[in-house]
Amino acid sequence: MSAMLLLEQALNAVQFGMLLFLVAVGVTLVFGVMDVVNLSHGSLFMLGGFFLAQAMDWQGSFYLGAFLAAVGVVAVAVVVEILVIRPLYARGHLDQVLATFGLILFFNEAVVMIWGRSPLFVSVPEVLSGQVEILPGAPYPTYRLAVTAVAALLGLGLYAILRYTRIGILVRAGADKRLMVEVLGVNVALLYTAVFAFGALLAAVAGMMTAPLLSVETGVGEPVLILALVIVIIGGIGSVRGALAASLLIGFVDTFGRVLLPGLVGPGTGSALANMAVYIVMAAILYFRPQGLFRHG
């Protein structure tokens, strides 16, 4: 593999990893803070793409469409948290898994009823449609760099909120000492709704940024959810740092596995191994660190 191709694939891996981080960090926040297993998180990723496509069809602007789509997904998340998730706080994880799996089926069928089964396509914003020469003779799509930058900024913003703001203190306290936080007069139910909605917003942003790269279709969130769960397990349940580290790791493993393995062991076997690579890495890490790379925090 040439140095230019290696650099291009490394940038693709970082971009893919950062998109996965936006989805995985929502899963780990909801579980770490609220102790809820939310399998419908991938559906919120999917709705971000569909809402963006619909908003752009109405008014044409990617940026205004992204804002409207974000508002729409947050509104859906608030309704889901109040009507479905909130009654599950006192229930076991099995009940949560069954209920949120039902939400996956509901959202997939709702999308088919509204938009049909044909994929929808979203165009790249014109200002980001060109290429940037990252090295002499090595052009790279501007939009992919913008996706990486936006995801990184959101990750830094999340870290700053959790570490240096009163809201972040309440979120971390609510995760460990819910009763004590309630005694101090904090509306924990509202806090949990805000955490769930914020996680949904991050998933929606990932879905919106992915839409111009891939088609938007029903069920597009399920493969992303599976990778997000792998990331949460590898990084450590409830750990934002772990989610970031594991997302980048999975981004590199998946990207370079699909590029290198077919050439090393043959197309058929290589493709199969590439599909298995992230799970092999997960199993290896859990063998040595059953709690994941990082503890909660």
Tokens for 95, please give them. Answer: 């009940």
**What share of the chain in percent tops pLDDT 90?**
48
**Distance between CA atoms of 38 and 197, rounded to whole angstroms?**
12
For residue 223, which of 243, 245, 206 has the smallest C-alpha distance?
Answer: 206
How is residue 84 annotated by DSSP?
I
Is the residue at 268 inside a domain?
no
pLDDT at 13: 92
**CA-to-CA dists, residue 74 to 68, 259, 279, angstroms:** 10, 36, 31
* pLDDT at 202 (0 to 100): 94
Q: If you ran DSSP here, which 8-state letter would residue 266 be given?
A: -
Residue 72 lies in a domain: yes
If you search the block for the tokens 């039902």, which residue do you land on? 102
Q: Is the pLDDT of residue 60 over 60?
A: yes
CA contacts within 13 A on the Cβ side of 140:
20
Q: Tell me the per-residue pLDDT of 80-105, one tens digit each, with 9 for 90 and over.
A: 999 999 998 888 889 999 999 999 99
Domain assignment of residue 138, yes or no: yes
Q: Which domain holds residue 187?
A: 15-218
Q: Residue 218 pLDDT > 70, yes or no?
A: yes
pLDDT at 184 exceeding the cut of 70: no
Average pLDDT over every residue of 156-160: 87
Q: Which two tokens stand for residue 297?
A: 């925090």
Neighbours of 171 (CB within 10 A): 22
Rounded Cα distance between 268 and 275, Å, is 11
Asked whether residue 209 is assigned to any structural domain, the reply reads yes
Measured in whole angstroms, the distance separating CA 88 from the mean position of its chain's CA atoms is 23
End-to-end CA distance of the chain: 38
Count: domains in the chain: 1
Residue 130 lies in a domain: yes
pTM above 0.85, yes or no: yes
168 versus 207: which is more confidently predicted? 207
Does the residue 34 lie in any domain?
Answer: yes
pLDDT exceeds cutoff 90 at 138: no
What average pLDDT does the structure give for the chain? 87
Looking at the domain assignment, is residue 247 inside a domain?
A: no
Mean pLDDT of 149-165: 88
Say how far apart CA 186 and CA 1 lie, in whole Å: 56
Structure tokens at 138: 């090595």
* pLDDT tens-digit readout, 68-81: 999 999 999 999 99
Distance CA 24, CA 32 (A): 12
Q: Which two structure tokens, joined as six digits, stand for 127?
A: 């200002």
In a domain, residue 51? The reply is yes
Is pLDDT above 70 for 1? no
Rg (CA), the chain: 19
